[in-house]
Chain A
Amino acid sequence: MARGMEGSVTSFQRQTAGLRVLVVEDTHSERCFITHLLEKMGLKVTSCSSAEEAIESYRQQKADIVISDWRMPGMSGPELCQYFKKLPFPPYMLLLTGNNLTSHTVTGIESGADDFLTKPFIPSILKARVLAGARIVNMQHQLENKNSELNASLIKEHAYLQQIQEDLNSAAKLQGSLLPTSSTLQNEWRLATQFQPAQELAGDIFQCLEIDDSHLGFYLLDVTGHGIAASMQSFTLAQRLSSNSCDWASLDPALIVSQLNADFEDPEHTGRFATLVLGIVNTISGRVKLTVAGHPLPILLKEQGTAMMELNSGIPLGIDNTYQYHYDTFFVSSQQHLILYSDGLYECRHPSFGEFGQQRLINTCANANQLEPESLLHYLAHAIDLWQQKEPQDDISMMILSAPDSFPSNNYSQRPTSCSTTTEGSNKDILPNENNRSADEIVSMGDWQALKYEALIDSELIESELIESELIESELLESKQSENQRVL
């Protein structure tokens, strides 16, 4: 028995170690009695004869538990409770009452008391109530500590995330700055570009570079996925394709792509691959040699018959490093434009009408074929933006390579030289649909272009076009459904 008591004393001491108690009691004898009892229990006690004095004392020194009489001159016990419970970290409140009335309990709890003790009480009851209070106070302390630890680590995480975000932003800026902007190139060829990453960093990358006085090299590549890993991969590939480390002087796109593919690495075995379209254009003759590796085929924009080009395509990069790529040869005539783009352009989805689709892309290009390349890209970007409801789903890259308004007098483009291949396989020549306009026609077309541009760029018009196409689609769907019903 004695041992048991000893045990409980130890447990009490453990639970109440370091706790400070504030006793508020106006009757001198009772105040001394309670203080004496608590001190005997090993607690640190401060005592006051009124609530007002208690508030002042608490300001000087916080207490964990406040034991207060109910009825006192001036501020009462429940009023003192109310005062303390408004503090951000209130003490545990134990109210002493002279009776056991229900109304007192209600008032006490409403004012924020945590426990009650009816006077007169025996010391062991006081001790038990103090122990109950100590448990709660300790638990609160533990929670507070945990909370502040959590807050500290949250602040740390937040700072870390912010650091990553800043790094991403500067990487994105770097990526953007590496991409070519719209410009006039050698021999009056022109380049127009548009780039919209889905996240900060894109898996798309494109470039146009000067090989010699009469040849431009260009490519657009798209690494699976987007984000950091895809972007690092596309940086690596772009590095390999930079003019210093790549044999552009061979003027053989198939050779360049085969080499790039042979060096492609996927150390994590994620199956990551890249699609690519890479070409070399002779800026005097308009002859283009183009190699496609699993990439969507370019669109040749011309006054009549804008269409996706029919070219041979090899498998994407990174699948079989022994694969040998081939190239096709064709001509871009004056006032024709070669449009390269990533799949993000037509794979974007509308919540009810699905994918934008290659056909819609071609139609959109064909409808706007009188626009300046730069404006056409804006127009396409806007149409896509509306289609995917302004929430980018994948990286979108577009690049238009435009032939000059007219080639030098000896028009090579009408008589393509037969192309000798450096790789095995059949390379085919695609003859251009030649149409040279007179200067007058070009001028008048310029006026018309301005008009059409204004009309096209009007977003309402684009929206109405989209809605129109939606209506057509829903009609199609309905007719399909009724067909199905007939079948049933």
Chain B
Amino acid sequence: MKFSPLALDNACLITLPKEMVMSQTPTLRAAITRQIEAGSNKLILDLHQVEYIDSSGLSILVSALKLTQKKAGEIILLSPSAGVRALIELTRLHQIFTIYEDQTAAIEHICEL
């Protein structure tokens, strides 16, 4: 997992790892929660490296969404692979997440005032 700061102080791009499964869930969730608590309420979760995600992996996205919403922020999912997108759509989470395919557009969106 990688945290890259963006032009806006409270914005951050988080590149998520290849596998987001149950065994990694607590670590990943704690790291993202810490980032949000530290003031980043506008996040881009970059999913392009994620090859496999299960429902507990999805719960990380949900907890991040709920936490940023509580802090009047926003979350964008970036470039999910076909498999990951299929799971997001199957669980209907695309109804609550904004999904971008293009990184520049995602950054522009999240950094606009």
A: residues with CB less than 8 A from B are 222, 224-226, 269-273, 275, 293-296, 313-316, 318-320, 343, 347, 355, 394
Contacts and interface: CB of A to CB of B under 8 A. Distances in A.
A319 B93 CA distance: 9
Sorted from nearest, which 3 A-B pairs have the closest CB atoms?
Answer: A271-B63, A271-B62, A271-B59
Given A269-B66, A273-B62, A319-B62, A225 B92 contact: no
Contacts of B83: 355
B96 interface: yes
Interface string B64-77: 11110000000000
Interface residues of B, number: 23
Contact of B54 (A275, A316, A394): A394
Contacts of A318: 62
A343 B63 CA distance: 21
Nearest to A198: B22
Interface of B is mostly: helix
B82 to A, nearest CB: 12
7 contacts: A271-B29, A271-B62, A271-B63, A273-B55, A294-B91, A294-B92, A315-B96
Nearest to A313: B92
B13 interface: no
Given A225-B56, A313-B92, A316-B91, A270 B22 contact: no
Among B25, B65, B67, B90, chain A packs the most CB atoms within 10 A around the CB of B90
Given A225-B56, A320-B96, A271 B66 contact: yes
Given A224-B58, A225-B55, A225-B59, A270 B96 contact: no
Contacts of B59: 224-225, 270-273
Nearest to B86: A358
Nearest to A297: B90
A269 B67 contact: yes
Interface of B: 22, 25, 29, 54-56, 58-67, 83, 90-93, 95-96
Nearest to B90: A296
A293 to B, nearest CB: 8
Contacts of A295: 91
A315 B95 contact: yes
A164 to B, nearest CB: 19
Given A269-B67, A271-B62, A272-B59, 8 more contacts: A224-B58, A225-B55, A269-B63, A270-B63, A271-B65, A273-B58, A295-B91, A343-B55
A480 to B, nearest CB: 14
B92 to A, nearest CB: 5
Given A343-B55, A394-B54, A271 B93 contact: no
A313 B88 CA distance: 13
A65 to B, nearest CB: 53
Given A224-B58, A225-B22, A343-B55, A315 B93 contact: yes
A355 B53 CA distance: 12
Contacts of A319: 62, 65-66, 93, 96
A270 B60 CA distance: 7
Contacts of A314: 92, 95
Contacts of A293: 92
Contacts of B29: 270-271
A91 to B, nearest CB: 50
B72 to A, nearest CB: 16
A224 B92 contact: no
B90 A222 contact: no
